[in-house]
Structures are given as structure tokens and as C-alpha cells.
Amino acid sequence: MTPTFSSTAGVPRWSRRVALAAGAALLAAAPIVTAEAVQTEVTEQTLEKADGNPANWITYGRDLSAHRYSPLDQINRGNVSHLHVAYTLQLGGAEGGGIWSHAGLEGTPIVQNGFMYVTDGWGSVYKLDLHGGHAALVWKMDPKTDHDWAGTVACCGIDNRGVALWHDAVISHTLDGRMLATDDKTGKILWQRQIADPDKSESITGAPLVVNDIAITGVAGGEYGIRGWIAATDLVTHKEIWRTHTIPTKGEAGSKTWSDSYDARKTGGGATWVTGTYDPVLDTIYWGVGNPGPDWDHEFRPGDNLYSDSMLALDPHTGRIKWYFQYTPNDAFDYDGVSEAVLVDAPSGRKLALAAQRNGFAYAIDRTDGKFVWGTKFVDKLTWTKGLNPTTGKPVEYDPNKAVQMYNAAGTPDRAKGSTLICPGSMGGKNWPPTAYNPNLKLWYIPVIESCNLIKTVEAKEHPMLKPGGGFSGGGPSDPVRITGSVAAIDVSTGRIVAKQHMPFPSLGGLVATPDLVFSSEPDGDFVALDARTLKRLWHFQTGSGLNAPPVSFAVDGKQYIAVLAGLGGAWDKWYIDGTPELKKIAPGSMLYVFALN
Amino acid sequence: MMLRSAGLVSALCGLVLCPPPAAFAQQPQASAAEGASIFREAGCISCHKWSGTGGGGYGGSAANLRKTQLDPSQIAETVRCGHPMGGMPYFQQDAYATNSCYGYKQGDLNSKTMPPAAEHFLQPREIKEVAAYVATELKGRGDPTFEQCVAFFGHATHVCNDYPHAGGAAAGAGEAAHHVVIDAAPDQNEGAH
């Protein structure tokens, strides 16, 4: 980003709104905004039109609707076979901490006017100058994350999924629970605040979502008996303006869905660890909520356990919950409902929020009111229910009068069986790796984990004495069955799967769509281009690492590039590796790959 | 080459960079530090946690080493050989080449009963060190304390915040500055019906 402000009176450049509010005297000394500044800075206005500049990728999902669609078409069906590595850059931050032997890369690179912003697992931010056909480090901001503190309470790896841009600040999170604003020009930390508390087993892995001059944060820790929340920080005052808990307190709407006599809601989980989306017309934030705690002992927490496993629609000004849609009431599977809501207007004109979940179903929800529109099974094997009620979208066996839902009883974990094979397995289905949407073809692409796993149910203790990182899971998974993957394409007009490409390994990194193509990150290091209509494999490159991060597409000096971070980390190689034994041999890494033609 | 290296070590130790070898051998703390280091680097901490309490966590349960009934040689055998039919890996690369593991060798065990191989194998000396660490610093030591945590991780981290001090003082007493303060906004949904 080119520096675009001059500050002659010592007023921090990011305090535009404060200056405006402080009266005429201060206003006279406020920074001068040039015409160019309006064009080159990331503001609420540019974010709301993020898909307007084809060269850039200025927010986590490329646009606030999370389409992850780049209209660039220099790389297309006809020439993708000539795609090759243009340049690479070795990053850092692969070291371990706490219970983790190493970190990984899960971040979405952000690209603005030829500069790229990436993070490593420990939250260091790297600003790279991509002009001239190579990546040159402009600065690195190391937040000095407390490795052992954060690494002891992180359930699922040393992860950070990227930054957000706001005026001349780069907004990021750390695993030990902080938000930082870094000066885009100098790489110096402008301010930081603690948002999550690792002493309560809270950590942060998601990228912030910036809308309306606020940055929204989700929390991780659903395996440790946290009470989840979503928090909004005012980027002008650096103060928190709202915090919405995902598990209601006693007496609050939804609290009766926790019908036990020992306050199970206090350790009710409901983490919010995947970045949400925003509709500026409806002025609504959409954010997914994770599993209830304990993960696998659903008899501990009779009731539907709101708002676990739900999509929430929130007022961005107050955090008020406008409506919710719950996918898996009284979840016994660890089927987090955290997946991003992809905001798509159907050909019928209906405003949809699409979300593909760990439970193996892809949902279309009316994003004006939370009503179910359609649901489609996208995994090969699904045994926990016979299907979704076509009117309500609830599993057909769901009975609102029952305290404990057994769905298809043979495939639902409970204390009596003790050990239950569930399909999809607890990782999904579709996990955090993001989907992509091609608005021309009206096709929505899902990165799929084709899995079953074995759940051991262990009765949780009432009034547990929880220790940071001590765990409150009510059992655990193991992986006696081979796990593979696929990419599925759903026609959003009909909700039907129109193509599926099977992959040898689960999809742990995610997708990007272009007019002709879909690029997929594979955990064995393969980087694959698929045909946008048929999902036929057109090209691949073996990175010699493990891909655990979503690809992006952008242009610098008029030339299109595809980029992806390489470095296998996350939950998989600790908890699920037995389902994919070949991935055991992949060594830790930390590398940026950038691809181009010629 | 050997002589030159030895000479270099002597010279460095002459500059007080190394303790005298005899003192090193006699200091249990130095050995504990090495054992703790192996416990961490070899990945024992991943399942058993720094304190050896194991249990819980996302991936099921590992043994609580503080409550183990195994004697030192049995602990060493478990590190060397892993736990047949359990999740504990074997850390000696050729452990099942002979009958030195519970009387079994490679062909005696099938894919279900053979323990997993460690991600990084240990040298026999390292196995001895880490087994001694488990036997003396973890086994029978009661609930973990703030002091033990600091001995393991050092002072540069907040990870020990919530452990009680030895002797029963409140958690983090005298360490109040360690605790984070979160300036959270009120939840406007609370009280809504």
C-alpha cells in the first residue's frame, strides 16, 4: 500500500473518526486525505466493493460475501497446463510450543496493489512487495506470542488464518488472545489489546473481519469447556463495543435449551473460530458457532444446546442476535457449525447464506430471516441421520420433545455403546477450509473430507474443575478407517451436486475459483487445478510440502498469479493422522508459493 | 580432530562456560533439566502434558505419570517399547528387533497390537534420562505446582499462572501481574427473552 496521508499535527492517521468527532479546532489539524488515498486505501467503502478491483484480494473471503472468486482469466482452461512456479519465499514461525511440536500455515494471503500480507502460525505478519516478479520482504511484525501459554491451550495446532486491512493499519490476531494493529508503512505495532484469555483455554486462530470500522473476533477452545463469544473492537477507539456470547445465560433467550440441573451451559462450548461474513444491504453479520461442550457426551447436556452448531445473524452495531439456524441440535459428534456463510443471491432472487458443515450437509438459509431453503448431502458416506426434513432442515429423527437426540441410533455416540463409528467423522464433512463460488456458473465448490471415525464416549463429570488446556471433551476420536477427500460442486439454483472429483487425501486447505478453474490445496503437497464445470483435473504441481491453506488469485502489474502457503500443521497430524498414514512423512515447513504463466 | 575438539571444550570450560564434569554428574538438577528437555522435545508433553498428568484433551487419554505404579525399569521399558494395543509409541528404533520388549519381537505383533513408532526416535542415553525424569520428577509428586511449572517452562511465559504454589498458597499468589485483564463489553443479548 502506498503511503497516502500526511500527518502534520501528530494526529495518528488511523484516528480519522476521532478527529472528525472532536470539533473544529482538532478538525483543522486533522490529516489531509488526498483523492488518491480514497482509491488506494482499504476502507468500509472499498471492502463493500472488494470484488470490484480484480487485481486485489483485500479481505479474508476476497469479498465480504466469502465468494473466493477471482474474475482474472489470463490463466484459463486452455493454458493452465503451462502454469509453473513463478517465485517462492521461505517464511518462519514453524517452531512448536506447549503441546505442539511445530506450527503450520493456514492463512489466506491478502493482496492490495502489489503488496501481500501473510501470517505464520504464531501470528507474525509479513508484508511482501510483489512488484518485479518476486516477493521481497518489506517488514515482519513479530507479536512475541507466548508460545507455551498459547500452545498449551490450543486444541488444534499453532494456526493463524490471516490479517485484515483498515486504512493504514494491518489488523491481526495472536494465538495467545490478542488483536494488534500494525502500521502498514513501518511494520511497527500501533496498538494491541487482549481479547481472549488463555487461562480460560481461550485462543484465537481466525482472521479478523473488518466492517463498519470495527474488527470482529471469534474465539477457539470448544474442547476445553469455554463459553464461546464473538467480540467487536472499534478500530478508532481500540475499545470493545460488544461481546455476544454463543451460549445464553440463565433466563436469556435460548437458555431453556440447556435443561440439566447443574449449569452445563457454563462449560457449554460454542466456539466461533472461523471468520464470518457481512451483508451491507441487510447490515447483518453472519457467523458460525462450534460444537457444544463436552464434545461427545451429549447426555451431559440434555436439550438442543443453543446456539451451538448454529449460524447466527448479528447486528454489527450492538451484537444483538437477529436470528439463528441450528444444524445439529444436542450434537454428539463434534459437528461444529462454524463454516463460513457464503452470501449468494439465487437466480430466483432469494438472498441465501450457504454453509457446508462438518455434519456432511450443505445448507441454503434465507439470509433475511433464517428460514431453511434446501440441504444437500455432499459426502459419500453419512450414517448419523437418514436425512433432513425438507421443511425445517432439521435431521428427520429430531424430536423437539426429547432431551437427548439419538438420530440414527446406531451411528450416534452415547454412553451405553461407549464406542461408535460415525460418518462423516468428527472432522467432517467440511471443516474450516473455505468453499468458493463461481457467480457466472452459479456453482458452489466444497472442499470435502470423506471420513468416518470411531468415537469413544466418556461420561463427563458434573461441576468439572477445569484447568487451562485440561480438556472437557467427553471422550475422543480414533481413526481406524482410511480417510480420503473430494471437491463437490453444487448448483445453487437447485441445490443439487452437479460434479464431484475424488482426491486421495482429505481437503484440508480449501479452494479458490476463477472463471474457468478451481484450485485446490491438498495435504500431501499437491496443488491441483480443476475444470470449473466438470471438476476434471487439468493440472497439478507437487510442492514437496503439505498444503493446509487456501489459495488466492491476484494480479500485479497486469499479470495474474495464483498463490498458496505451504506447511502442514493444524489438528490433523496430531489427532487424525492414522486415517492418512502417508501424511506422517511430511516434515514441517513454512513457504509461500506463487504460480504464473510464462 | 578428536584431540582438537577436546582441547576446544577444555578451553571453553576454562572460561567458565561449562561446569566441572564431576559436579555435573553429581547435580540431580542438571539431570532433571536434561530429562525435562527430552520430555519436551521428544513429544511426551503432547499427550502426557508438561506435568505428566495426561488425560483429557482432544485425542483421548494418556496415562497420568504422576500416579504410575511402574518402577523405573518398567518406565524405561515403556519408553523404549511403547504400549502394545495402546497409543504410546516406541522410542527405541530397533526395539522390536529382538525379544527385549515384553518378550515380543516384530513378527509376534500384528497391525492392531504393534504400538506406533515415535515420530523421532531417542538414543539409549536419552531414553534412560527421560525415564529417570519420569520416575523421580513426576511419579508420586502429587498435584503439579507453580514452582514445578516454572522449573519446566521458565519465567518468560504465562502458562504457569493458574497452578497453586507449593505449600498450598492460592494460585498465582504474588504473581498477580501475570493475569491478563480483558476489557470486555457487556452482552446486549443477556436478559433478552
What secondary structure does DSSP assign to A220-272, as a single string? B-TTTT-B-EEEEEETTT--EEEEEESSPPTTSTTGGG---SS-GGGG-B---
Which of A95, A99, A252 to mutate to test binding with chain B, by most B CBs within 10 Å of its CB? Answer: A99
B180 within some domain: no
Q: Cα angle at A481 between A489 and A332, to 5 degrees?
A: 75
pLDDT mean across residues, chain B: 80
Kindly provide the residue ranges of all beta strands, DSSP E only, lying in A318-409, ordered along the sequence.
Answer: 321-326, 342-345, 351-356, 361-366, 372-377
- B59 touches A at CB < 8 Å: yes
Distance (Å, whole) CA A51 – CA A58: 9
Residue A448's pLDDT is what? 98
Residues A13 and A125 in one domain: no
Catalytic residues of A: 334
Closest to A594 (Cα-Cα) out of A78, A121, A130, A58: A130
B85 pLDDT higher than 90: no
Question: Nearest CB to A149: which of B47, B158, B186?
Answer: B158
Residues B123 and B72 in one domain: yes
Residue A20's pLDDT is what? 38
How many Å lie between the alpha carbon of A156 and the closest alpha carbon of chain B? 8
B188 within some domain: no
Calculate what percentage of chain B has a pLDDT beyond 90.
54
DSSP-derived 3-state class of residue A466: coil
pLDDT in tens, A156-199: 999 999 999 999 999 999 999 999 999 999 999 999 999 999 99
Q: Is the peptide bond before A434 cis (omega within 30 degrees of 0)?
A: no
Q: How far is CA B120 from CA A358, B46, B128, in A?
A: 32, 13, 16
Which residues of chain A carry a pLDDT beneath 70?
A: 1-39
Distance (Å, whole) CA A400 – CA A303: 8
Q: Cα angle at A372 between A355 and A423, to 5 degrees?
A: 55
Q: Is the peptide bond before A121 cis (omega within 30 degrees of 0)?
A: no
Are the Cβ atoms of B58 and A473 closer than 8 angstroms? yes
Distance (Å, whole) CA A394 – CA A417: 24
- Label residues A183-200 b or e (16+ Cβ within 10 Å = b): bbbebebbeebbbbbbbb
Which residues from B are below 8 Å from A244, CB to CB?
187-189
Cell 530429562 sits on residue: B35
Instruction: Tell me how crowded residue B184 is: count the other CB atoms within 10 A of its CB.
Output: 16
Residues A381 and A437 in one domain: yes
Phi-psi group of A318: left, alpha or beta (phi > 0 → left; psi -120 to 50 → alpha; rest → beta): alpha
Question: Nearest CB to B183: which of A177, A240, A456?
Answer: A240
The whole-number average pLDDT for the span B58-64 is 73
Query: DSSP string spanning A39-107?
Result: HHSB-HHHHHTGGG-TT-B-STTSSTT---B----SS-TTTGGG-EEEEEEE----EEETTEEE----P
Are the Cβ atoms of B58 and A223 closer than 8 angstroms? yes
- What ipTM was assigned to the predicted interfaces of this complex? 0.82
Residues A391 and A507 in one domain: yes
Residues A548 and A573 in one domain: yes
Which residues from A are below 8 Å from B115, CB to CB?
none
DSSP state letter for A425: B
- CB under 8 Å to A499, separation ≥6 — which residues? A488, A489, A533, A534, A535
Residues B123 and B38 in one domain: yes
DSSP-derived 3-state class of residue A488: strand
Residues A511 and A489 in one domain: yes
User: A24 is in which domain, residue-wise?
Assistant: 1-41
Q: What is the dihedral of CA A527, A532, A537, A541, to 10 degrees?
A: -20
B25 within some domain: no
Distance (Å, whole) CA A254 – CA A238: 31
Residues B149 and B121 in one domain: no
User: B83 is in which domain, residue-wise?
Assistant: 31-54+63-142
Residues B168 and B73 in one domain: no
Greater pLDDT, B174 or A34: B174
Q: What is the dihedral of CA A337, A338, A343, A344, to 10 degrees?
A: -50
The domain that contains A456 carries what CATH number?
Answer: 2.140.10.10
Pairing, β A84-90 against β A510-513 = unpaired
Are the Cβ atoms of B189 and A147 closer than 8 angstroms? no
Residues A112 and A164 in one domain: yes
Closest to A489 (Cα-Cα) out of A481, A497, A477, A479: A497
Total number of domains constituting chain B:
2
Instruction: Find how far residue A128's CA is from the centre of its chain.
Output: 23
B115 within some domain: yes
DSSP-derived 3-state class of residue A403: coil
Residues B100 and B162 in one domain: no
B178 pLDDT higher than 90: no
Instruction: Tell me how crowded residue A413 is: count the other CB atoms within 10 A of its CB.
Output: 30
Tally the residues of chain B.
193
Residues B83 and B101 in one domain: yes
Are the Cβ atoms of A239 and B50 closer than 8 angstroms? no
Which residues from B are below 8 Å from A243, CB to CB?
184-187
Which residues from A are below 8 Å from B188, CB to CB?
242, 244, 318-320
Are the Cβ atoms of B188 and A244 closer than 8 angstroms? yes
B168 within some domain: yes
B116 within some domain: yes
Residue A573 · residue A547 · CB < 8 Å: no
Residues B87 and B117 in one domain: yes
- Label residues A34-57 b or e (16+ Cβ within 10 Å = b): eeebeeebbeeebbbebbebebbb
Total number of domains constituting chain A:
2
Distance (Å, whole) CA A122 – CA A204: 11
Residue B161's pLDDT is what? 87
- CB under 8 Å to A97, separation ≥6 — which residues? A103, A122, A147, A148, A150, A151, A158
Residue A10's pLDDT is what? 35
The domain that contains B131 carries what CATH number?
Answer: 1.10.760.10
- CB under 8 Å to A304, separation ≥6 — which residues? A257, A326, A329, A330, A400
Which of A95, A101, A245 to mutate to test binding with chain B, by most B CBs within 10 Å of its CB? Answer: A101
Residue B173's pLDDT is what? 46
Burial of A144 (0-12, 13-18, 19+ CB in 10 A): middle
Are the Cβ atoms of B186 and A100 closer than 8 angstroms? no
Residue A467's pLDDT is what? 84
Residues B129 and B147 in one domain: no
Are the Cβ atoms of B191 and A252 closer than 8 angstroms? yes
Q: How far is CA A416 from CA A169, A385, A406, A458, in A?
A: 54, 19, 12, 10
pLDDT in tens, A305-338: 999 999 999 999 999 999 999 999 999 999 999 9
Residues A113 and A49 in one domain: yes
Q: Which residue of chain A comes nearest to B190, CA vs CA? A: A252
How large is the angle between the packed helices B146-153 and B28-41, nearest 10 degrees?
A: 70
Residues B108 and B166 in one domain: no
Residue A164 · residue A150 · CB < 8 Å: no
Residues B104 and B35 in one domain: yes
- The phi, psi pair for B148, rounded to 5°, reads -65, -40
How many Å lie between the alpha carbon of A456 and the closest alpha carbon of chain B? 8
First to last CA, chain A: 26
pLDDT in tens, A429-454: 999 999 999 999 999 999 999 999 99
Residues A37 and A47 in one domain: no
- B187 touches A at CB < 8 Å: yes
Residues A136 and A276 in one domain: yes
B170 within some domain: yes
Residues B131 and B41 in one domain: yes
Are the Cβ atoms of B56 and A149 closer than 8 angstroms? no
Distance (Å, whole) CA A108 – CA A564: 8
Which of B159, B161, B175 to mutate to test binding with chain A, by most A CBs within 10 Å of its CB? Answer: B159
Residues A349 and A472 in one domain: yes
DSSP-derived 3-state class of residue B33: helix
Residue A54 · residue A63 · CB < 8 Å: no
Residues A28 and A104 in one domain: no
Residue A325 · residue A311 · CB < 8 Å: yes
Residues A159 and A215 in one domain: yes
